[in-house]
Structure 1
Amino acid sequence: MEVMPMSLDLFQCQAVQTSVTGNRTVPYKILSSLDNQSTLEFSVSKTGDSYIDLSTIELELIVKLCKADGSDHSGDVNLQPGVVNNTLHSLFDQCNESAESHLACDGWAIDTGDEINKRDSTNVGFTMRRNNFANSKIVQLVGKLHGDIFSQSQYLLTGANLSIKLSLAKPSFYIMEEDAKDSTLKTLDATLHVRHFDINPSILMTHNTTLTKTNAFYPYKRVEVKSFTAPSGSQSISHDNVILGTIPNMLIFAMVDNDAFVGRRSKNLFALSHYSITDFSIFVSGVQTPMHGLSMNFDLKKYWTRAYRSLFSGVGIDYADKGNQITMEMFAHGFFILAFDMTPDSSVNEDHISIANSGSVQIDAKFEKVLP
């Protein structure tokens, strides 16, 4: 087969798109007062014939970390509170919608050290975040929304009203300080930035005609979080029917102290410990996957490589030029996450989808030491 370098393709015109004729980002303010708010609610109304790109909607918050009475922190910075990683998204426990990189804008500074519950200089990430908020400095947080509908790239049709309601989590969930303290993160301003696209009239006419015959489709990936407790003093866990019904495309497993999960200021809710786990298995409708499960020993140097590799193979980036910031050492010290690709053709990160399978999922785990 003969080929020609593109540098010699002198007579081929570059493709030109004419469907989208322009775009603009429109700010929307919160609907009600920010005083004593438990939720942030926005309404994106109809604007002419423009379509909305749901995947690029950004939330901007102006916040400051202050005392419970609203007064500012002052004095020794090392004695002041800080916040957990991924600050912007950690502020919310639910997003309801109807109808060193850019992550730093979200308040991202990854925790470091052998013990990420520490609130001192050994945890560089915490120190950076604490210094950012020290003395009740005003901080601007900006990041995209991570709701199910915002994970797909289809434009929202003109004429559709969009309401977004964000439920705020408890301060003990995202503020790190002594348990007896009661600092709070005060929201001074909240803005939703929504990108509107102007569409070629011929495309609008075609869409309107098609809508008289059928509905528009918005395929998205639904994310569901399930939690369960493991009894203290045991050395194994076994849960039948963790999932009963549609088998998910991806399953992610992590463990955290129960008091951190429900919200404890002295503990990092993202301290995902391994608890000296030795074996982990998933059974899908009675069939074990992987076939021999995962074995690991955190007392032996690097005897958790296969478990660590699941962070890549399980999310579809195995052998790809992509990463996740988690090293093997970090995996053993507060970043223990197991991921599994559950698709029939191991294509969880591909554009196509597979026929959904129904069944049950069981998880089993064994530990070298008794659970705390």
Structure 2
Amino acid sequence: MAKAAAKVLATSRKASRGAPGPCPLLVIAGLPAKTAEIAAATINNDEETRWRAIAIPFGDKDPIYTAEAVVDLMVQTLAFAIRGHPDRVISPDPSRILLAHVGAPCSDLLLDGFGASVMTIPLAHPEWTWPRGQHWRFDIKEVMPVVRRTIRLAEADPYESFRLRLEAFRRDDALLLPQKNFRLTKTETLEPRFRDLLRGQLTPAQIDAQVTTRRFGLKELKRFYGKTGGKNQSFAYDDRSLVFAKAHVGQDGNVHEIAPLAEGAPDQVRLRRELEGRFRFGTPLRSPGFQHDVQWTDGKPLVREPFVCIDRTDILVSADHANVFASDVVTAAKIDAVEK
């Protein structure tokens, strides 16, 4: 497993960078040992930016990305996100997470590992002419302008508008829906749409166009409004007509607490669950246990309704509603496994 540099995480911040607090985190992927740690340390020691950076060495030759190295980077990212919270109360520390990665044929391994927890921008050097057949990622003098340009891109539109949209936490925002459980059709969910968004193959507006929303009256969601307050709010509903109701109060609490990373070997599924439970496209979710209450209207109960739970795969829910978290963890009064 690639060894991450502890000194990068421990780099102190100068007082001139402003009051201490959450900072944006740049996760650098795809650089070799010759440049990875230097690039991260350079950002961490730059008094002109609030960005922090982490990086681990990736392969000198193809395939650049391996499952082992991707898991190692995910461990470092999650450790950064929950550091400084010994009481285990989850409060996302980075103000945003940007995954800046070198493009490669095996990039899907990296992007699918992090899923919808990060925003992604490729590290690209459009003017590189491959002198002596060498890739620019081996030359730190070429790497740093690329990294700094990527930070500037992240701080400008459309990425800045995208961040501000997510931070508004609209109750009916399609980009905050649970990707494995919101059905666009009988056979399609939001998950492949989110994958395409992260690869620059879809825009947020194109996803919005596929998600239907409307206002639901007090009588339609009487139990939900009675618990959370409000009335006549706008929510998304899927192909089944299940309402994905979202409130800013009445959350069921932090279901994402896990044992310390040192206990047992981390795996990609578990790490993705924890990152997606805390961040959506790089933006920290407002509260621990960020969830949607998924239900029928008019008090009709769920009766063996199919859901996908990242912890249990296919399940059947019987309850007045299902709590579907950002990571697609599903909890409910009664859950049965699907017989195979």
TM-score with structure 1 setting the length: 0.23
TM-score with structure 2 setting the length: 0.25
